[in-house]
Chain A
Amino acid sequence: MTDISQQGSGPAAPSRKHGDTLMQLTARTKRRNAAERRFQAYGIAAIGVGLLMLAILVVNIFGNGMGAFTQTFVSLDVELLESKLDKKGNRDIEDIKKVSTFGYAPLIKGAFEAKVAELGLETDLKSKAMADLLSKSAPAQLRDYVLADPDTIGKTVSFRFLANSRVDGYMKGRVSRESIENDKNISAAQLDFADQLIEAGVIEKTFNPAFIFGADASDQRPEAAGMGVSMLGSLFMMFVVLALALPIGVAASIYLEEFAAKNWLTDIIEVNISNLAAVPSIVFGILGLAVFINYMHLPMSAPLVGGLVLTLMTLPTIIISTRASLKSVPPSIRDAALGVGASKMQAVFHHVLPLAAPGILTGTIIGLAQALGETAPLLLIGMVGFIASNAPDSVASGLMDPNSAMPAQIYEWAKRADPAFYERAWGGIIILLVFLVTMNTLAVILRRRFERRW
């Protein structure tokens, strides 16, 4: 605008002193560059600390938990004596059922004695002490086998029995001769005998699918405990959450974002949804206890109730992420649809929703993952059922039957006294983390895959 030639004769920049050169950094520039480098160093250090923590966590979890996936087994040939199991010899199932697990204990002792004789081992142990190397579930395993197939009575059958948790600990290095000095469950002589059996290949440590797919076991038998049934409980709950939270959340978001008038009422609703997302989960638990169990009389410990409580918890997450992804669809798309004569609903369902779908999907999966790892509300509604038999013949086969959930099961194990349960708690955490990482990866993949540009 102004005429440049009038003042164009002066120096270009008054701040620049005579003799300054671009080839040399001024003190001010040096300070500024140093500050920049310092800040970058802080950032790298912060990331480094974060990564280090993550590495420690991962190493810790896997170091402590991987042991739960292997288990010590004892292979024995058991002669199923007719004289003990079916005295009348008529294979009447009702008569065979009358023999309790105590009646099977002598068979195991006999199997050990036979093994000692076969291998030519020298030991002072009584056969009772030998049998104590096995899990307390061993006689029950025998009995289940015989009841399933009574015709095997009188034959000699090979079995793989779970070893006692002390023997298992000895195999995994958790138990040593020093650590058992005050332990009444096992003696040094028994460990010596176990060493002989390990030498002979009778005692082996192998992968144990029962930990992943099996049911929980009592305090006395940590070696038999598994995550399977609580996994089923979590699965049922996620089913309930998905079936309720997704349609309700998406419908609420679409209405609030696209149709509702912007007034004080919708403002209040919006603020409350945001607040709800920040409510501690235990509050939802006590709400579930008061409303679903005490007032509506739904069964305690049922995945249905757990799912309802987790739905309440997940709804705000889904609503917030759905609204955010609806908001991110450019308004020009809505204008375009309305401009060619689409109704509001057609514009939303034909154009806006497909574009927002990846975001909605991602939000839902992340909400589900959050719900999957939630423990506190489940404790309040009793989702810590002790289920010791496998589905489908257990009680834990439906939405209304008592069950547990993965994080609640981990909490239960961590609470128990036997150190063998501690290992299982870490193992359970690995399984839970595998689920969470899988779900989050799925969320990322879906977002990448369906993300569209406009």
Chain B
Amino acid sequence: MYDTAKTESAVEQMELKIEARNVQVYYGDTHAIKDVNVDIEDKTVTAFIGPSGCGKSTFLRCLNRMNDTIDICRVEGDILLDGEDIYDPKVDPVQLRAKVGMVFQKPNPFPKSIYDNIAYGPRIHGLARTKAELDEIVEKSLRRGAIWDEVKDRLDAPGTGLSGGQQQRLCIARAIATEPEVLLMDEPCSALDPIATAQVEELIDELRQNYSVVIVTHSMQQAARVSQKTAFFHLGNLVEYGETGQIFTNPEDPRTESYITGRIG
């Protein structure tokens, strides 16, 4: 069932993209993330798995500082992107988020046209000087998002009129339109049916050619299918982190084994 052949063949040492060192996250008095150290590699799909409330989404949102919008949230420790501390006071989260794109659990296209959905990011970041350049970015992004053929004839139609799976691929295309280096995905398939899920998973595997992808998922099969590295979170701790094949076939920690065999979680 687990596609181990593919993941094993992909295991080769990549450059480090993100290094997290002793990261602590507090929500008010709650200690949500406890001392997490993790190295995320470039051109690799890294999956975060774990039971609900274990902090995997919280940690993911630390990677592009989306937690800044929550008043009571406090982050300690260092998170380095290409060796630069993203929580340094000199770093503007807006610039960071252009480099670290995000796809959310529920497809959330803007209530605008498909074209405007994609063009919004490049517009506010000034990535295109002419209409032709913008058109090119939109087409390229939609192609990479594997949705171009379905929407090329109706770019003026509202993005909210697409089906759930199409909306999510539109959101992925929107995220890659700003040319990010890292793509964060927070349970991108949880609102999708199996066919749409398969399409998105296929897309994630293609995106690995160009990006470092971090995906939070509740589905262990999905983690096994799409990722090369897997991190298992439990109660705010990073319990185990390693090659996906290793985690699923021969976990070191008994908690990991309990979780993947369905005894906890």
Query: Which positions 68-103 of chain B face chain A at CB distance < 8 Å?
Result: 69, 71, 94-95, 97-98, 101-103
State A335–B101 Cα separation when bound (angstroms).
Answer: 11
Residues of B within 8 A of A40 (CB): none
B97 A336 Cβ-Cβ under 8 A? no
Q: Kindly report which residue of chain B lies nearest to residue A454, judged by CB atoms.
A: B111
A336 B104 Cβ-Cβ under 8 A? yes
State A198–B95 Cα separation when bound (angstroms).
Answer: 85
- Indicate the member of A336, A453, A454 with the most B CB atoms within 10 Å: A336
A335 B108 Cβ-Cβ under 8 A? yes
A340 B106 Cβ-Cβ under 8 A? no
How many interface residues does B have (CB within 8 Å)?
Answer: 27
Query: Which positions 331-381 of chain A face chain B at CB distance < 8 Å?
Result: 332-344, 346, 350-351, 355
Question: Which residue of B111, B125, B171, B174 contacts A355 across the interface (Cβ within 8 Å)?
Answer: B111
Does B124 count as interface, using CB distance less than 8 angstroms?
A: yes
Question: Which residue of B95, B108, B177 contacts A336 across the interface (Cβ within 8 Å)?
Answer: B108
Q: A262-B71, A333-B108 are in contact. Are A339 and B160 (CB under 8 A)?
A: no
A339 B120 Cβ-Cβ under 8 A? no
B101 A342 Cβ-Cβ under 8 A? no
Does B10 count as interface, using CB distance less than 8 angstroms?
A: no
State A303–B70 Cα separation when bound (angstroms).
Answer: 45
Q: Kindly report which residue of chain A lies nearest to residue B121, judged by CB atoms.
A: A340
State A336–B109 Cα separation when bound (angstroms).
Answer: 7
Residues of A within 8 A of B71 (CB): 261-262
State A452–B158 Cα separation when bound (angstroms).
Answer: 11
Which B residues contact A (CB, under 8 angstroms)? 64, 66, 69, 71, 94-95, 97-98, 101-104, 106, 108-111, 120-121, 124-125, 160, 171, 174-175, 177-178
Q: A332-B106, A341-B97 are in contact. Are A453 and B121 (CB under 8 A)?
A: no
A350 B120 Cβ-Cβ under 8 A? yes
State A335–B186 Cα separation when bound (angstroms).
Answer: 12
State A355–B98 Cα separation when bound (angstroms).
Answer: 24
Query: Which positions 312-347 of chain A face chain B at CB distance < 8 Å?
Result: 330, 332-344, 346
Q: A341-B124, A454-B111 are in contact. Are A332 and B175 (CB under 8 A)?
A: no
**Could you pull out 30 A-B pairs where Cβ atoms are within 8 angstroms?**
A262-B71, A332-B104, A333-B110, A333-B111, A334-B69, A335-B102, A336-B108, A336-B171, A336-B174, A338-B69, A338-B97, A339-B66, A339-B97, A339-B101, A339-B103, A339-B104, A340-B98, A340-B174, A340-B175, A340-B178, A341-B94, A341-B95, A341-B125, A344-B69, A350-B120, A351-B110, A355-B111, A452-B111, A453-B111, A453-B160
Closest beta carbon of chain A to B120's beta carbon, Å: 6
State A290–B111 Cα separation when bound (angstroms).
Answer: 48
Q: A333-B111, A336-B108, A340-B120 are in contact. List 14 more A-B contacts (CB 8 A).
A: A336-B104, A336-B110, A337-B120, A339-B97, A340-B98, A340-B177, A341-B94, A342-B94, A342-B120, A342-B121, A342-B124, A350-B120, A351-B110, A355-B111
